[in-house]
A and B are shown apart, each in its own frame.
Chain A
């Protein structure tokens, strides 16, 4: 398999330096762009497998970069953002970004997000007949059967739909709005607490300690993430 190509759009040289060492060390081919303009050109010419994009750039808002790229490419985009800017993260995800990492982040975190994004882009997002496995959690998507540590778990239809939606995006962040649309349908936009209440039910059924979840992780202010592997 040829080494995956990543375009990094980031204006801070220190961050580029650290990511260059990390990503090339992990076997990625990296192309760097210090501005949004240069970044969009790089994406167009390099046809990367993934994009890592800083939201704050000197020449253009990172959100605008996402919108432009999304007009002609479905390439996975991972956004670099700061803690406390949950609103920006949600906007970036709504605009079409796939995931985010909060600065300061460990290289492990970014590499995990990249792996998940590449996996999803490869179209391997859970074939319909597969059994999804995560720790002691086994979900048979064909037989609609959920097992936890070898014991069957009974889920209501909504809980099951919520769980399978998260499985479809396994390892990726899913916003409240996305979950509302996919599980409850349109016209529930201001009902984010539905998701939270059902997520609570689901945790009580499949987490050993619902207040310290291992599978169904919360991203405060943004949404949820099903743990990856």
Chain B
């Protein structure tokens, strides 16, 4: 493997200085041996020095060390001493052999070392590539993937990395632009700016860099395809909901409007001729239908707020009893003489909730219970607590939910009965609010008949400042 010129140049001072130092050391050792042995034996320390240089330096420095050794040997240990002259012709042969042996040994040493190093490099690259793949597999979203890839490539190759959305970029000196190629074509490009000049000098390094970039490209393409599929799914779902909304709202708006218009025109046209009781009934129907319209609009607004993420919880510590009381108070007219049994243990802790929203949940659930169970059947509200949460149950003694509808009822525009009242938003809103509080909501049929809706409200870790007692 030839040493690249740039790399050799950059190593020059240190490596060549080391070659000089090694030759000097060998000369010192030979000097000590000189009185004891004959001249050719003194070649040995020089060979050791050359090997030592080759073990750490590049080919150039090794050759330099070999030549320097021959020169030093001639200068110090062959007569005429302290000259580069050669007294006897067979010494030239000695030089040739010495130089040959030094070159071969140093060459072999350098190569062995390079191979070991290359193997080590490959091993490190494989580990690094594996580490990146693993992290890419765990990452979600294009931004996170790009960040993971940039970090791994940047650290692994000592470069600055910039992932660009387009494969056409302005060329820039001192940087390399590689295309990000997915299975289905280019998805962008990577600009790599080495932090030091040698970082990407070898073709091997470039090939490895390409491997990393390809890996990143495939991961990014995967993320992009997943995002596109998700987009399509959301678009389809939005479309379905929009249709359901239009159908539902147009029906639910028109029905009360028709009733109001009818009752009002009857009053205007024939008001004087009608019985007092008929007039009252017409007026009551106007009021009730307007109420219904109001609830529908309220629900639509609430749903929009929940879905747009504009909902902000204003939490504080509340006694559940008070929130239940507020909901029942607002429903007083519709509850009428129906029996509502509330069981809230006095030791129930304060719950960290947005009272206005949780009141809405209770209101919707009780309203549902009133709607789907017969006059004269009681409605029960029950609260229990563990250390972690409070569970609230609203149960009716009606006909219960159709088999398998326990989950479905929480979907938007779903009603227990196809011709039931309301737009089917109430329970979807309940779920949105309860989940915003970190709780769960679910429905179940009761063994004794009727349906129960339960929801949990987690108790936060903190407790409210204790309330001062008084006598």
Contacts and interface: CB of A to CB of B under 8 A. Distances in A.
A193 B355 CA distance: 12
10 contacts: A84-B302, A156-B471, A193-B318, A196-B350, A203-B321, A211-B324, A211-B381, A220-B326, A220-B356, A221-B356
Nearest to B356: A221
Interface in B316-347: 316-319, 321-326, 328-329, 340, 342, 344, 346
B148 interface: no
B104 interface: no
Contacts, number: 75
B468 to A, nearest CB: 8
A196 B318 contact: yes
Contacts of B340: 212
Nearest to B358: A220
B141 interface: no
Contacts of B465: 191, 193
A157 B278 CA distance: 54
B79 interface: no
A84 B356 contact: yes
Give the size category of B's interface with A. Answer: 20 to 34
Contacts of A106: 287
Nearest to B343: A211
Interface string B337-369: 000101010100010000110010000000000
Give the size category of A's interface with B. Answer: 20 to 34
Centre residue among B290, B321, B381, B464 by max chain A CB count within 10 A: B321
A211 B342 contact: yes
A31 interface: no
A63 interface: no
A84 B329 contact: no
Interface in A170-198: 191-194, 196-198
Nearest to A219: B326
Given A84-B356, A86-B356, A193-B464, A217 B329 contact: yes
Contacts of B298: 83-84
Contacts of B290: 104
A210 B321 contact: yes
A199 interface: yes
A193 B467 contact: yes
Contacts of B350: 193, 196-197
